[in-house]
Amino acid sequence: MSIEQRILDHVESERDEIISFMQRLIQTRSVTGEEAEIGALMEKECTRDGLEVDLVEPQPGRVSVVAKHTGTGDGPRMMMYSHYDVVPAGDPDTWKHPAFGGEIHDGYIWGRGAQDDKVATCCLTMAYRAIKELGIRLKGDMVFTHVGDEERGGRYGFQEVLNRDYGDGVDYLFYAHGGDPDNIGVAANGSRGAAITVNANQDEFVIGYSCTSSCWKGSSVESIKNISMCIVRQLGCLPDTRYKKNLMWLYSKIN
């Protein structure tokens, strides 16, 4: 039997444990900024698996977990990424099932983070546990990063992990976030920001932007709408065209 089949069979045999762990992750509330409890849970789980665990806490309660496996040598060093913070649940009455219940209905586990991104935290943990329990020895090193603050940009999460040099020597980064089981996408993404300054004087204001040296003066909601449309049009003229579809959607909503 191949190693791959052994792992798949073992994972299937641990189905109930995997489901239970996923439910616990959802039930452990971890809205961005409140990651201490889930950090403690993941510290415990990673320690159970024999990993060398460090906690990264740049501010009180802003906890990320780095868990390291040392390979036998002659293999690549891989960083395995998940984030366990979630956005707020909002009005509980709008949820078909409790946001932090982790309940099973219609063959699905329901709750905040079930897809984004506690599914990755669960899968990385349980995949490594299966390999460990089967006694499979990995040649390369692995650095598991289960982080917070992703939903606010990552400054106090993954960015802090990198600032502390945990990424040194890494050959590959695997971002576990769903996808097709037959394909691993090759990608690199990031974000761009822009600062727009509005000078307001009571109900009259002037807005300017350097890309065309233009400005718009006016008042009322209608003027704000016109300014917004103008900004979206200017963004659509940028060389980077990856986000034109989203910009056009935004333009249609404003217009």
In a domain, 59, yes or no: yes
Q: Say whether both 159 and 204 belong to one domain.
A: no
In a domain, 14, yes or no: yes
Q: Say whether both 110 and 207 belong to one domain.
A: no
**What pLDDT, on the 0 to 100 scale, is given for residue 195?**
62
**What pLDDT, on the 0 to 100 scale, is given for residue 237?**
57
> Can you give the CATH number for the domain in which 145 is found?
3.40.630.10
pTM of the model: 0.76
> In this predicted model, what pLDDT tens digit does every residue of 47-90 receive, in sequence order?
999 999 999 999 999 999 999 999 999 899 999 999 999 999 99
- pLDDT beneath 70, residues of the chain: 178-181, 187-255
**What pLDDT, on the 0 to 100 scale, is given for residue 34?**
96
SS (H, E, C) the chain: CCHHHHHHHHHHHCHHHHHHHHHHHHHCCCECCCCHHHHHHHHHHHHHCCCEEEEECCCCCCCEEEEEECCCCCCCCEEEEEECCECCCCCHHHCCCCCCCCCEECCEECCCCCCCCHHHHHHHHHHHHHHHHCCCCCCCCEEEEEECCHHHCCCCCHHHHHHCCCCCCCCEEEECCCCCCCCCCCCCCCCCCCCCCEEEECCEEEEEECCCCEEEEECHHHHHHHHHHHHHHHHHCCCCCCCHHHHHHHHHHHC
In a domain, 185, yes or no: no
Which range marks the domain in which residue 225 is found?
198-254
Considering 35, 85, 117, 160, which one is annotated as catalytic?
85
In a domain, 50, yes or no: yes
Contact between 146 and 47 under an 8 Å Cβ cutoff? The reply is: no
Q: Domain count for the chain, please give it.
A: 2
> In this predicted model, what pLDDT tens digit does every residue of 84-121 receive, in sequence order?
999 999 999 999 999 999 999 999 999 999 989 999 99
203 assigned to active site: no
Q: Say whether both 168 and 202 belong to one domain.
A: no
117 assigned to active site: no
Q: Say whether both 99 and 223 belong to one domain.
A: no
In a domain, 142, yes or no: yes
Residue that is last in its domain, among 118, 143, 175: 175
Q: Say whether both 41 and 164 belong to one domain.
A: yes
In a domain, 98, yes or no: yes
Considering 45, 141, 150, 160, which one is annotated as catalytic?
150
Q: Say whether both 51 and 82 belong to one domain.
A: yes
In a domain, 76, yes or no: yes
In a domain, 237, yes or no: yes
